[in-house]
Structure 1
Amino acid sequence: MNRLLPLLGFFALVGLLGFGIWWNTHHETNEVPSPLIGKSAPEFVLPLLYDPAKTLSKKELLGKPYLVNVFGSWCVTCQYEHPILTEKVKPLGIKLIGMAWKDQPEDAKRWLAQFGDPYDAVVSDVDGRTGIDFGVYMAPESFLVDAQGTIRYKRIGMFTPELIESELLPEMAKLQQARP
């Protein structure tokens, strides 16, 4: 019996490994459903990146839908997403709010000067607390918020043109249909 124990352990390990491989190929592992979908966006008041004496709050954004895009100068993926925001999201006409998350203002300004600034407003979340309230755990992440301040869609990771077409545009269309 003592000789069978290592063999049984080996087969158990192979079984677990096989199950893990099967699970990863049959389930999307990059998407974590947000518990905030359908709930009110967190209240926030953050300084504007280019004029920190002024702030932007959730209350000021109510009345029209907007898209919050969380980025950081330290985020390599954000560099790849940035031209897509400029070329594909900005022309959609929705207010685009950039949130420089866990980033020093000077670094974020330098990054935007280098890659361009597609945002209608950029806020600075240096300590990351507002991002935590939104449930952010990486950058880039984006949140579609309706005119009443309810989160309707969350994208973890970068937008691609295909995702804009297959996910963001249908969600924006739903917002248009919901208007009285």
Structure 2
Amino acid sequence: MSRRLVYLLPLATLVLMAGFFAWSLLAGRDPAAIGSVMVGRPAPRLDVPALRPGEPPLGDALLRTGKPVIVNFFASWCTPCLAEHPLFARLAERDGATVIGVAWKNKPADALAWLKRLGDPYRHAGYDLDGKVALDWGLSGVPETYLVDGKGIVRFHFRGPITERDVTGTIIPFLKGGS
């Protein structure tokens, strides 16, 4: 009898672990609902070289102009970034949004080629090749987008690609109200 238990113990452990993983996947928890420690706090330093040759580096003054700005971390190799790109183009063109782009862990030449091919919605663009600035912003991957009010306070943080729902429900009201 005890020999049978020895053989059943690994099987019981496997069934228990599979049940836990199934519950975790099906529990309906949204990873984006984790929130961000950045919201409600001053935006971290924005000190990156300009992506476009001949332009000045990006600095903190861009975040404290008295008008709300959108800071988007992207990469040319990022498929979700490709999906959200037309929304940023529309926000910049139609809604007059100031969109700041930061190419994350992306070679500048690759990011520039990507923007040339798709269109460039960024009023200011820089790159964070080693990812150090992104760490200060709490970035977990690309794309991530931050809405910063005119005083430099982060008001919203989107992990993953923005959607039409985000644009109409959060971003445009934020741009109109500034907070």
Q: Same fold (TM over 0.5)?
A: yes
2:49 pairs with one of 30, 47, 54? 47
Report the CA distance shift for 1:13/1:130 in structure 2 as closer, same or farther (over 3 A): same
Which residues in structure 2 correspond to 1:87-98 (within 5 Å)?
Answer: 87=90, 89-90=91-92, 91-98=94-101
Task: Please report how far the alpha carbon of residue 36 of structure 1 lies from its aligned counterpart in structure 2 after TM superposition.
Answer: 1.4
Look up the match of 1:79. 82
Q: Which residue does 1:135 correspond to in 2?
A: 138
* 2:127 aligned partner: 124
CA offset digits 1:83-124 (Å, max 9, x no partner): 12213x323333110111111211111111001011111112
CA distance in 1, matches of 2:102, 2:178: 28
Deviates more, 1:31-40 or 1:110-119: 31-40
Where does 1:8-87 land on structure 2 (aligned, <5 Å)?
8-26=9-27, 27-29=29-31, 31-51=33-53, 54-62=56-64, 63-87=66-90
Paired residues of 2:75 and 2:103 also in contact (CA < 8 A): yes
Identical aligned residues as a percent: 34
Q: CA deviation at 1:53?
A: 5.7
Deviations 1:21-58 (A, max 9, x none): 22222211355432211111111222221135612211
* Matched residue, 1:105: 108
Partner of 1:164: 167
Q: State the Cα distance separating 1:67 from its structure 2 match.
A: 0.6
Write the distance in 1 (CA, Å) between the matches of 2:31 and 2:14: 21
Secondary structure in 1 aligned to 2:141?
coil
1:127 to partner: Cα distance: 1.9
Aligned length: 175
Q: Deviations over 1:6-26 (max 9, x none)?
A: 324323322332232222222
Q: Point out where structure 2 has 5 or more consecutive residues left out of the alignment.
A: none
Cα pair distance change 1:106/1:33, threshold 3 Å: same
Aligned-partner SS, 1:92: coil
- CA shift, 1:5, in A, is 3.4
Look up the match of 1:5: 6
2:148 to 145, 149, 152: 145
Is the Cα–Cα contact under 8 Å of residues 75 and 111 in structure 2 kept in the other structure? yes
On the 8 A contact 2:68/2:178 being kept in 1, the answer is no
Mean Cα displacement is larger for which, 69-78 or 24-33? 24-33
Runs of 4+ in structure 1 over 3 Å off? 29-32, 166-170
Aligned partners of 1:150, 1:129: CA distance in 2, in Å?
A: 20
8 Å Cα contact 1:31-1:156 kept in structure 2: no
For residues 17 and 52 of structure 1, the distance between their equivalents in structure 2, rounded to whole angstroms, comes to 56
SS in structure 2 of the partner of residue 162 of structure 1: helix
Q: Which amino acid aligns with 1:58?
A: D
CA RMSD of aligned residues (A): 2.2
| Cα distance between partner residues in 2 of 1:64 and 1:177 | 7
Using the size of structure 2 for normalisation, the TM-score is: 0.85
Q: 1:138 corresponds to which letter in structure 2?
A: G
